[in-house]
A and B are shown apart, each in its own frame.
Chain A
Amino acid sequence: MPLSKQDIDHIALLARLEVAPQEKGDYVEKLSQIIELVEQLRAVDTTGVVPMAHPLDMVQRLRPDSVTETDQRDYLQQNARDTENGLYTVPKVIE
């Protein structure tokens, strides 16, 4: 099932990616090839098969409820492009 340009627009929006008009054809073609590859799975009979979410047969380990982290704000904010008064800043959000 080949993807349409609308499909590309929708998933680009979900993924917060921009596909320039001149690239769109290439994305449609290559993603369609990939989808065609994975569509082979439809032919496999999986009746009664339990989905495998994880390779290890282990259960979640629980951590004791204790505070082990200390304030590293100034150190960590060195990696951010825009901060002020200890806050990370982004373009104005209107709700």
Chain B
Amino acid sequence: MSTLLPDFAEMARALRAGKVSSRELTGDCLARIKRHDSTLNSFISVYPEQALAAADAADKAIASGSAGPLTGIPMAHKDIFCAEGTRTTVGSKMLDNFVAPYDSRVVSGLAAAGMVSVGKTNMDEFAMGSSNETSYFGPVKNPWDLQRSPGGSSGGSAAAVAAGLVPAATGTDTGGSIRQPAALTGLTGLKPTYGRVSRYGMVAFASSLDQAGTLTRSAADAALMLGAMAGFDERDSTCANVPVPDYSATLNDSLQGKTIGVPKEFFDDGLEAGCAQAVQDAIKQYQELGAVVKEVSLPNLAMSVPVYYIVAPAECSSNLSRFDGVRFGYRTESTGDLADMYTRTRSEAFGAEVKRRIMTGAYVLSAGYYDAYYLQAQKVRQLISDDLSHCFAEVDVIMGPTTPTPAFKLGEKMNDPVQMYLNDMYTIAANLAGLPAISIPCGFSQNLPVGLQLIGTQFAEGLLLNCAHQYQQATDWHLRTPVISGGAA
């Protein structure tokens, strides 16, 4: 019988009442990782000793009365966040041997709040992928169906939380990398406003799109975690100096009179019928909660994937130039001249998808192509952002599906990058415009979880979490857990 309790609030109560210790919760997570992770492959690194030491410290804090709402609760970090003294691989052979010499803001923030990190989760290489199949450490399996992908790039975090190996995990979302895996594994996945959470110490994929967020069971848990992650950080020029509200305090606000915009472009031919049904039902549920639904339009939505596949590769081609074998990371064994050293180092250590994106980025920025590709993409990015602003002039929240289909089979899209990219067509717009968005479980199709996506205006995380929480008070989709073959969940 698992000691894992349904949410942070109950864990905190049990910890404070002395019914369970952080050491027990953490030990239980480590045991479940040991039992199931050879099947799931959701972790790249696990740190039992460090985790138990942190748990003991948390138990002391609880005993002394200095504990906060997150103290002693185990979790895992996507292996994109630097944590001092531990290996940070970003899912790549390039950083297989890289020991981070410093803590990211996300790692230090959650540690300061008392959370206990048990290890680092698997991910698509450098966060480039939507299926977790580009990881150097192998694909992750979806606990709902081991033949299927948990999504990506935060696939390890999603699978680990969905399988109950940890109660929560961090993720990053550049084009849907938190929301899509959350949808495909039945979790609550929050991508905050660009600039809400410092990017300091988070290995960059596409700097103008990347944002750290959470994978949890519930919106209430996400509210607590975001509170510890968010806030101004002088080490990140793009981090917003905007006060962090108490996200938990507004969870129970009424939705009476709130307006929900449903973009008609979200319900196109590409949307699988079961997903469409679950999403429509969820929107009806919101009407029962007092919200008003309006149809809105995002006329340039179809352009969001093409814009993304210029902007993100352009930024990544430059961001990944620092991996040259000189100061850190992999270096080729072959002896040649300098050009040879660079080329071999990078060719031997980057996987195929990363190379494709770097090359795409170099191409769209290169002499003669910049205006036609990169500059045009920036202009269309503005049009998409304007479309969203127009919608928000009329509505409080935009809702629709997170993904066009439920979890797809591993290997199904690996040889067709464009089909893989189109998987993110509902999630990318929020990244382009820097808006907060959340995916919450809203039903099943083909016995697989379906995600409902909510998008808000900049810094409206409080409202999104409130909407998500109210839905989760009225439904129980977020409490459904998979049965993993080979061990009871």
> A and B touching (C-beta < 8 Å)?
yes
CB pair A33 B358 closer than 8 Å: no
Are A79 and B328 also in contact (CB < 8 A) when A37-B421, A44-B376 are? yes
CB pair A34 B338 closer than 8 Å: no
CB pair B300 A90 closer than 8 Å: no
| The stretch of B30-38, B57-65, B342-350, B441-449 that contacts the partner chain | B342-350
For the complex, give the distance between the alpha carbons of A5 and B237 in Å.
40
Within 8 A of B (CB), among A24-61: 27, 30-31, 33-42, 44, 46, 49-56, 58, 60-61
B196 to chain A, nearest CB (A): 10
For the complex, give the distance between the alpha carbons of A53 and B381 in Å.
9
A–B complex contacts, Cβ < 8 Å, 7 sampled: A50-B379, A53-B378, A54-B208, A56-B194, A61-B237, A76-B327, A90-B338
Q: Which 6 A-B pairs have the closest CB atoms?
A: A55-B434, A51-B378, A46-B379, A52-B382, A79-B328, A18-B347
B119 to chain A, nearest CB (A): 21
CB pair A38 B337 closer than 8 Å: no
Chain B contacts of A36 at CB under 8 A? Answer: 418
CB pair B417 A33 closer than 8 Å: yes
B356 to chain A, nearest CB (A): 6
Are A72 and B101 also in contact (CB < 8 A) when A37-B421, A41-B303, A56-B194 are? yes
Are A91 and B338 also in contact (CB < 8 A) when A33-B418, A37-B421 are? yes
CB pair A34 B360 closer than 8 Å: yes
Residue B305 CB within 8 A of the other chain: yes
CB pair A54 B341 closer than 8 Å: no
CB pair B347 A17 closer than 8 Å: yes
Which of A16, A38, A76, A93 has the most C-beta atoms of chain B within 10 angstroms of its own C-beta? A38
Q: Interface 1/0s, chain B 313-343, versus A by CB < 8 A?
A: 0000100010011111101000111111111
CB pair B335 A15 closer than 8 Å: no
B283 to chain A, nearest CB (A): 27
Chain B contacts of A7 at CB under 8 A? Answer: 363
The count of chain A contact residues (Cβ–Cβ below 8 Å) is 51
Task: Look across to chain A and name the residue whose beta carbon is closest to the beta carbon of B332.
Answer: A81
Are A63 and B234 also in contact (CB < 8 A) when A42-B372, A90-B341 are? yes
B345 to chain A, nearest CB (A): 8
Residue B106 CB within 8 A of the other chain: no
Residue B195 CB within 8 A of the other chain: yes
CB pair A34 B326 closer than 8 Å: no
Chain A contacts of B418 at CB under 8 A? Answer: 33-34, 36-37
Chain B contacts of A34 at CB under 8 A? Answer: 309, 356, 360, 417-418, 421
Chain A contacts of B324 at CB under 8 A? Answer: 16
CB pair A11 B417 closer than 8 Å: no
CB pair B195 A58 closer than 8 Å: yes
CB pair B208 A38 closer than 8 Å: no
Which of A11, A31, A35 has the most C-beta atoms of chain B within 10 angstroms of its own C-beta? A11
Task: Look across to chain B and name the residue whose beta carbon is closest to the beta carbon of A10.
Answer: B366
B172 to chain A, nearest CB (A): 15
Are A79 and B377 also in contact (CB < 8 A) when A40-B306, A63-B234, A90-B326 are? no
Task: Look across to chain A and name the residue whose beta carbon is closest to the beta carbon of B302.
Answer: A40
CB pair B382 A38 closer than 8 Å: no
For the complex, give the distance between the alpha carbons of A88 and B337 in Å.
16
Within 8 A of A (CB), among B379-432: 379-383, 385, 416-418, 421, 431-432
Residue A78 CB within 8 A of the other chain: yes
Residue B76 CB within 8 A of the other chain: no
B95 to chain A, nearest CB (A): 10
Chain A contacts of B421 at CB under 8 A? Answer: 34, 37
For the complex, give the distance between the alpha carbons of A53 and B207 in Å.
11
Q: Interface 1/0s, chain A 66-83, versus B by CB < 8 A?
A: 000000100110111110
CB pair B346 A17 closer than 8 Å: yes
B143 to chain A, nearest CB (A): 31
Chain B contacts of A30 at CB under 8 A? Answer: 356, 417
For the complex, give the distance between the alpha carbons of A90 and B342 in Å.
10
Task: Look across to chain A and name the residue whose beta carbon is closest to the beta carbon of B360.
Answer: A34
B307 to chain A, nearest CB (A): 7
Task: Look across to chain B and name the residue whose beta carbon is closest to the beta carbon of A89.
Answer: B326
Chain A contacts of B362 at CB under 8 A? Answer: 11, 14-15
For the complex, give the distance between the alpha carbons of A37 and B195 in Å.
29
CB pair B350 A17 closer than 8 Å: yes
A87 to chain B, nearest CB (A): 11
Task: Look across to chain B and name the residue whose beta carbon is closest to the beta carbon of A26.
Answer: B352
Task: Look across to chain B and name the residue whose beta carbon is closest to the beta carbon of A53.
Answer: B378
CB pair A38 B327 closer than 8 Å: no
Chain A contacts of B373 at CB under 8 A? Answer: 38, 41
Which of A42, A52, A81 has the most C-beta atoms of chain B within 10 angstroms of its own C-beta? A52
Chain A contacts of B339 at CB under 8 A? Answer: 16
Chain A contacts of B101 at CB under 8 A? Answer: 72, 75-76, 79
CB pair A44 B303 closer than 8 Å: yes
Which of A34, A40, A46 has the most C-beta atoms of chain B within 10 angstroms of its own C-beta? A34
Chain B contacts of A38 at CB under 8 A? Answer: 306, 309-310, 364, 373, 377
Residue B481 CB within 8 A of the other chain: no
Task: Look across to chain A and name the residue whose beta carbon is closest to the beta carbon of B323.
Answer: A16
Which of A17, A49, A53, A54 has the most C-beta atoms of chain B within 10 angstroms of its own C-beta? A17
